[in-house]
Structure 1
Amino acid sequence: MSDAPTKTQSQTVALPTGLDAILTWAGVTHRGRKRDINQDALLTAYPLFVVADGMGGHIGGEIASASAIDRLQRMVGKGPVSPEAIEKALIKAVRDIGEHPETTDEGTGTTVTGVYLDITEEDATWVALNIGDSRVYIQRDDALAQVTTDHSLVQELVAAGRLSPEEAENHPYGNVITRAVGPSEGAVPDYVRLDVRDGDRFVICSDGLTKELTDYGILHFLRLHDDPQDAVEAMLEAALENGGRDNITIVVLNVAVPGQGPQDDAADAAPASRDAAPVTAEEPIVDDEEPAEDSSTGDAARE
């Protein structure tokens, strides 16, 4: 696949409040300087924006991430995005990965991390979802906050007080994740809901970016570049210059809500959030083989 970023795209969405949200986004995935193949993949198909970072010997990781993105793109093309729909799609991806002749149960899987816009309720919300150690960040009021929590051994050690965040940055087990989408893993993400706020910007990325740029570095390039394409290009270039030790995938998503009044907690650096309870499918998963959606439904990028 081409390493060139997608050009900035835009969509206007009518919110339940009567206001319009103008979404603009761009994404890129790159092999990096050290890897032979790109096992990352991305999806930017309104209302869902996702990064998948595959793992597994030979091309197992590439197949895993591609399978997850393919099933999620088909889901977007069929109807509303919801936790239930996401989990059904990921269950199908797990089956696809397990049945592929070039994958094995041992160590093959992928992260799945991203956001989608939910306008089905009275108050529209963003829903962040996460399995693995790819990340969603939000820039709000000129501060950057990590929305997702890594499913990694290092994060568990930090949470237990056995490692400081500074020690975690260069820990030898930094690549060990504790949850993934794969034949030996589940397919239920963690969810967090966020209010829709004028001026917010999301960064969705694989750990190939966060290995090379600190949170402040990410914020620095967001401050320098208002346009999503310019922002992903600048972050990618900096990550490659800093070593590019892993595949690098970045999506930047801008949110504008013209006419939205001041928010009560506008001075808060961290986003307002609440749990979004996962929904599990109550009916059996149908082993249907849907035709791939037309490319006009969104952009699925993979090598």
Structure 2
Amino acid sequence: MAETTTTTRSVTVAQRRLLLSWAGVTDQGRRRDNNQDAFLADFPLFIVADGMGGHAGGEIASQSTVSRLQAVVSDGPVTRPAIETALERAVGDIADHPETTDEGTGTTLTGVFLDLAVEEPQWVALNIGDSRVYLLRDDRLIQVTTDHSVVQELIAAGKLSPEEAEGHPYSNVITRAVGASELTAPDYITIDVRAGDRFVICSDGLTKELTDYGIQHFLRENATPGPAVDAMLAAALENGGRDNVTLIIVQVDDPEHSSSTITDTVE
């Protein structure tokens, strides 16, 4: 099994001390001969990218995008304009790479960041493509992002039911991506910061194998991110592992009611 690492940080958000803990993992799956997924879990940015386009092209696209976003974290602060500048540079990197000759080369991009550059810090979810962000709040699982896919557009237009979408021949066709052909800005969703919240950020390699109910089940059964990530990955592989599987879980705790060990502190 791929290696999972867990990190915990103490953060002051709107004069409240909170613990953020997270874990991430990526796995090739059982049917693919390479891994075109990439992820970044580096406070305050947590991102999953699912590449596409040829044997090497998808891997180049996802890694190029994650690399540019890692530079945003290093340079700081992480803001929407900084992210969009990084994506513009990633598009150039993908277009200029000698192995990305396929016009379909690109990557999805989804995740969350804690926006500390505003008066009232808040989570911002962002999305391009059909990777997803979920939020478990008050024991209820919510899909935060909306897929940019042909199937989702048909559902929104009332031409397809969610049940029919599962076996639709265009289920893998996305309508937006970070790629060599054009710059696409993400959708942004702002979310208030609450103790007890748990985010799941994942490629469709997870959601092809686990239903929303399954994701919620493993969150309920595992109190911390590391074991939850491992359990979801194991279940996705056991259910077929038809695609690369990548996921990050980010958890927000009140330190007065948590047994987590603080490994770093950010004010």
TM-score category by the smaller chain? over 0.9
For residues 155-208 of structure 1, give each alpha carbon's deviation from its aligned partner in whole angstroms, at most 9, with x where no partner exists: 000000000011112211110000000111323100000000110000000000
Give the equivalent residue in structure 2 for 1:250.
247
Distance 1:105 1:184 in 2: 10
CA contact (8 A) 1:209 1:239 kept: yes
Structure 1: segments with no counterpart, 5+ residues: 261-295, 297-303
Give 2:183's aligned residue: 186
Deviation at residue 105 of structure 1 after TM alignment: 4.7
1:235 paired residue number: 232
Question: Are 2:120 and 1:90 equivalent residues in the alignment?
Answer: no
2:10 counterpart of 1:12:
yes
Distance 1:86 1:259 in 2: 34
Aligned residue pairs: how many?
258
Q: Which amino acid in the other structure matches residue 88 of structure 1?
A: T
Structure 2: stretches of 5+ with no match in the other structure: 258-263
Q: What corresponds to 1:208 in structure 2?
A: 205
Tell me which residue corresponds to 1:279: none
SS in structure 2 of the partner of residue 103 of structure 1:
coil
1:122 to partner: Cα distance = 2.8
* % identity of equivalent residues: 65
Residue aligned with 2:11, SS: strand
For residue 259 of structure 1, report the CA deviation from its aligned partner. Answer: 7.2
**Per-residue deviation, 1:58:** 2.0
Which amino acid in structure 2 is aligned with residue 190 of structure 1? D
Is 1:162 the counterpart of 2:159? The answer is yes
Tell me how far apart the structure 2 counterparts of residues 105 and 21 of structure 1 sit (CA, whole Å): 45
Q: Which residue of 2 aligns with 1:62?
A: 59
Amino acid across the alignment from 1:134: S
1:144 equivalent in structure 2: 141
The structure 1 residue matched to 2:40, chosen from 30, 39, 43, is 43
1:110 maps onto 2:76 in alignment: no
Write the letter of the residue equivalent to 1:207.
D
What's the secondary structure of 2:95's corresponding residue?
helix
| Matching residue's letter, 2:40 | L
Question: 2:223 is matched with which residue?
Answer: 226
State the superposition RMSD in angstroms. 1.5
Residue 21 of structure 2 is matched in structure 1 by 24
Distance in 2 (alpha carbons) for counterparts of 1:35 and 1:68: 21
Counterpart for residue 125 of structure 1? 122
CA distance in 2, matches of 1:74, 1:206: 22
Pair 1:3 & 2:11 matched: no
Letter in 2 for 1:152: S
Distance 2:18 2:226 in 1: 19
Query: For the residues of structure 1 that align with 2:161 and 2:255, how far apart are their CA atoms?
Result: 41
1:268 corresponds in structure 2 to none
CA distance in 1, matches of 2:119, 2:18: 15
- Which runs of at least 4 in structure 1 moved beyond 4 Å after TM superposition? none
Q: Is the 8 A contact 1:119 1:125 kept in 2?
A: yes
Structure 1 distance, partners of 2:93, 2:83, is 15
CA deviation after TM superposition for structure 1 residue 65, in Å: 0.1
1:106 deviates by 1.0
- Structure-2 separation of matches of 1:144 and 1:23: 19
SS at match of 1:244: coil
Shift of 1:4: 1.4
Q: Deviations over 1:232-287 (max 9, x none)?
A: 10000000010000000010010114579xxxxxxxxxxxxxxxxxxxxxxxxxxx
Work out the CA distance in 1 between the residues paired with 2:175 and 2:65.
18
1:197 matched to 2:194: yes
For residues 281-292 of structure 1, the aligned pairs below 5 Å read none
Q: Does the 8 A contact of 2:135 with 2:142 survive in 1?
A: yes
Q: CA deviation digits over 1:205-232, x for unaligned, max 9?
A: 0000000000000000000001111001
TM-score, normalisation: structure 2 = 0.94
Contact 1:112/1:134, CA 8 A, preserved across alignment: yes
